[in-house]
A and B are shown apart, each in its own frame.
Chain A
Amino acid sequence: MKPESPSNLQRVLSDGKFAVTAECGPPRGADPEIIRRKGELLRGHVDAVNVTDNQTAIVRMSSIAACVHLSAMGLEPVMQMVTRDRNRIALQSDILGASSLGIRNILCLSGDHQTFGSQPDAMNVFDIDSVNLVHMVKVMKADGKDMSGFDLISPPRMFIGAAANPFADPFEYRVIRLAKKIDAGADFIQTQCVYNLERFREWMRLAREEGLTEKVHILAGITPLKSEGMAKYMAKKVAGMDVPESVIKRMGGVPKGKAAEEGIGICLETIAALREIKGVHGIHMMAIEWEETVGRIVEAAGLSPRPQAA
């Protein structure tokens, strides 16, 4: 990729195409084959592969390294970066490093609190928050300055993403916070997994009313459910997740052997519904350790083939 060319994801979205990205969690180990295998399962089905940064506060191969493995395979990565583990000095340094390695998309997050992870005895950082991180990348990119105001010799090139959770409380404030992320410099937004379509539609309506959908590309989060147990777990145990009772019932209403199919069915119906919502410019698939299902869902949803990379 030429340094001045935009990311593939940016191109797909600016062309007004419905984008598809998928999440890819790096392994708890140093073997690059695991990330390559996941990448291979996603090849051709997505516009970019979103690589998590020590998600759920569990130590994994670094997002930057995993992104580079995917890049080497010809896949476009979205590098997640959380403010939990790095202060502003390390964040800026890693952004410059990532840009030097050809990484062109970043998703700015605060990160799961370390008490959820395998090393709850760790100190967190949280020097800056996710909105600050978005702003920092924007200033580095657009003004060519680091946070001290120093003129960077060569600014990083990043298509900037941020997260939004339409299902968290307080609901009315969620759109104000989305606006803040957009003002700070977000180019695209990934949402929490959508199971509660009604609430998501309402959130999108509020976002449209504020004129936000004109300013940012919203990618709706999709996670296929494998079982009734998973639906219940997500509803009760996963912070910020909204899985309505009707969805849990539906997953429990079919024989166990058919539950995964039902989950995929729910996904396809959700995707179809999302495509009808004005302002939704794509989906982000988070098929946790079930990457092989992404291609099937994308094809069945009529989102194949993906636009060819430039």
Chain B
Amino acid sequence: MIVGKQKSIAEIREIVSPYKKLLVLGCGTCVKTCFAGGEDEVATLSSALRLLFKKDGRSIYIEELTVERQCEDEFIREAAVAISKNTAVLSLACGAGVQAIARRFANVPVLPGVNTTFIGVLEKQGLFTEECLGCGDCQLAVFGGVCPVSRCAKKLQNGPCGGSRIGKCEINPETDCAWQQIITRLTALGQLDNLRKYNPPKDWRTSHAGGPRKLVREDHVI
């Protein structure tokens, strides 16, 4: 899923301050799961903003709404009426959701309330870890299901570097060394010989390095 973290209340207050009527718009999929922008967060944030503005002696009207996904027209349409009634939208979706709303409502300021952080998993309750950079050319078959692009701080294709100690990454003792995990996995799978092979430089064209990407599914184009 896309993992995000709600911005600080101070930053949110700053960016919404020019507006009198605000729609706080939640997203009920990824950011809900990581407690950044689902309906519970919409309610809590809205209450906090109302209190803050009241304390500042200013009035603000805040409407609350959460749709299933802000990145799909089917659900965006559900927010159209609420958006038209307000002067700005504070979107608690990921960056994709914020932009999807902005593109469809040309005259409404759409503000981000969440910092989109990574594609990751819920490793355990309260802990999310980054697992994928969306490089567009998945080589997890070679690396035993552990991604060196997203999980090695140097994106090494032929790791590990000299800083791997006791299974941990040199940049942070809390971070597992991806290459240690690759080796452990491949050893368990009896595929350690995978690593004797030289991995050539990665072709980054399929990644963001090649510019903003598009996926066209001709079979689905109407």
Contacts of B22-65 to chain A: CB distance below 8 A:
none
Kindly report which residue of chain A lies nearest to residue B165, judged by CB atoms. A169
Contact A168 B154 (CB under 8 A): no
Binary interface encoding of chain A residues 136-174 relative to chain B, with 1 for a CB under 8 A from any of its CBs, else 0: 100000000001000000000000000111001110010
A249 within 8 A of B: no
Contact B158 A180 (CB under 8 A): yes
A192 within 8 A of B: yes
A244 to chain B, nearest CB (A): 14
Residues of A within 8 A of B158 (CB): 129-132, 177, 180
B contact residues, range: 20 to 34
With A132-B157, A169-B180 in contact, do A116 and B164 touch (Cβ < 8 Å)? no
Q: Which of B6-14, B84-92, B166-174 is near enough to bind chain A?
A: B166-174
**A135→B201 CA distance, assembly (Å):** 10
B124 within 8 A of A: no
Contact B162 A180 (CB under 8 A): no
B161 within 8 A of A: yes
B145 within 8 A of A: no
**A176→B154 CA distance, assembly (Å):** 19
Residues of B within 8 A of A127 (CB): 201-202, 204
Contact A168 B204 (CB under 8 A): no
Residues of B within 8 A of A192 (CB): 162
Residues of B within 8 A of A36 (CB): none
Chain B CB count within 10 A is highest, among A113, A129, A131, for: A129
Residues of A within 8 A of B164 (CB): 168-170, 240
Binary interface encoding of chain A residues 78-99 relative to chain B, with 1 for a CB under 8 A from any of its CBs, else 0: 0000011000100000000000
Contact A240 B163 (CB under 8 A): yes
Q: Out of B153, B180, B196, B199, which one reaches A179, CB within 8 Å?
A: B196
Residues of B within 8 A of A126 (CB): 154-156
Interface size of A by Cβ–Cβ distance < 8 Å?
34
B94 within 8 A of A: no
Binary interface encoding of chain B residues 185-221 relative to chain A, with 1 for a CB under 8 A from any of its CBs, else 0: 0000000000110111110100000000000000000
Kindly report which residue of chain B lies nearest to residue A163, judged by CB atoms. B162
A85 to chain B, nearest CB (A): 12
With A129-B157, A179-B196, A239-B170 in contact, do A168 and B201 touch (Cβ < 8 Å)? no
Q: Inter-chain contact count A-B, CB under 8 Å? A: 92
Residues of B within 8 A of A170 (CB): 160, 164, 180, 183-184
B120 within 8 A of A: no
Q: Out of A110, A135, A168, which one reaches B198, CB within 8 Å?
A: A135
B166 to chain A, nearest CB (A): 6
B26 to chain A, nearest CB (A): 31
A118 to chain B, nearest CB (A): 15
Kindly report which residue of chain B lies nearest to residue A184, judged by CB atoms. B198
A128 within 8 A of B: yes
A124 within 8 A of B: yes
**A130→B157 CA distance, assembly (Å):** 9
Contact B200 A239 (CB under 8 A): no
Contact B159 A240 (CB under 8 A): no
Kindly report which residue of chain A lies nearest to residue B163, judged by CB atoms. A239
Contacts of A162-204 to chain B: CB distance below 8 A:
163-165, 168-170, 173, 176-177, 179-180, 183-184, 192
Residues of A within 8 A of B157 (CB): 128-129, 131-132
Residues of A within 8 A of B167 (CB): 169
Contact A239 B156 (CB under 8 A): no
With A110-B156, A113-B170, A170-B180 in contact, do A131 and B198 touch (Cβ < 8 Å)? yes
Contacts of A56-102 to chain B: CB distance below 8 A:
83-84, 88
Residues of B within 8 A of A84 (CB): 154
Q: Out of A168, A180, A239, which one reaches B196, CB within 8 Å?
A: A180
A184 to chain B, nearest CB (A): 6
**Complex A-B: 22 CB contacts under 8 Å:** A110-B154, A110-B156, A110-B161, A116-B171, A127-B201, A130-B161, A131-B157, A136-B201, A163-B162, A164-B162, A165-B163, A168-B160, A168-B162, A168-B165, A169-B166, A170-B183, A173-B160, A176-B196, A179-B196, A192-B162, A240-B161, A240-B170
The 7 A-B pairs of least Cβ separation, nearest first, read A165-B162, A239-B170, A131-B158, A239-B163, A240-B162, A128-B201, A129-B156
Extra A-B contacts (17), CB below 8 Å, given A126-B155, A131-B157, A131-B158: A84-B154, A124-B154, A127-B202, A129-B154, A129-B157, A129-B158, A136-B201, A165-B163, A169-B164, A169-B165, A170-B183, A170-B184, A173-B160, A173-B183, A180-B196, A240-B164, A240-B170
